[in-house]
Amino acid sequence: MDGLVELLVKLIFFEQAQQCFRFPVQNTIRVSVWFKDQRPSLPAEVVVGHEPLQLNTETVLKLRVVRNESLMKNFFVDNRLFLGPHYEAIGEATILQIIK
């Protein structure tokens, strides 16, 4: 777990996320995340809580991102991450809290 940054985020999946996942999503899912105008992307896990994820619905949950020291300056409250395959955003997360 030392190699991960754990975040509390407000997440929304867009309509095009249906091409990648079957909704409602009830299990932890793996995605790539990136900050605006940033390369490379980072592997991440969306940790689904008790409520399944729905399309176009904001949900507060945990996001675990692989730690990359050169990008740590981007991890701050209110910054946004984009989720999806190969830089095609299927969702967006706003950082609410850096847990660790």
CB 39 within 8 A of CB 18: no
pLDDT in tens, 16-59: 999 999 999 999 999 999 998 777 889 999 999 888 999 999 99
CB 45 within 8 A of CB 63: yes
Question: Helix, strand or coil for residue 70?
Answer: helix
Angle at 22 between CA 57 and CA 1, to 5 degrees: 80
Domain range 4-25+34-98, its CATH number among 3.30.70, 2.60.120, 2.40.30, 3.40.1350: 2.40.30
pTM, two decimals, is 0.90
Q: Residue 100: its pLDDT value, please?
A: 86
Domain ranges of the chain: 4-25+34-98
User: In angstroms, rounded to a whole number, what is the distance separating the alpha carbons of residues 92 and 58?
Assistant: 10
Q: Residue 1: its pLDDT value, please?
A: 42
Q: Residue 85: its pLDDT value, please?
A: 85
More confident residue, 39 or 95: 95
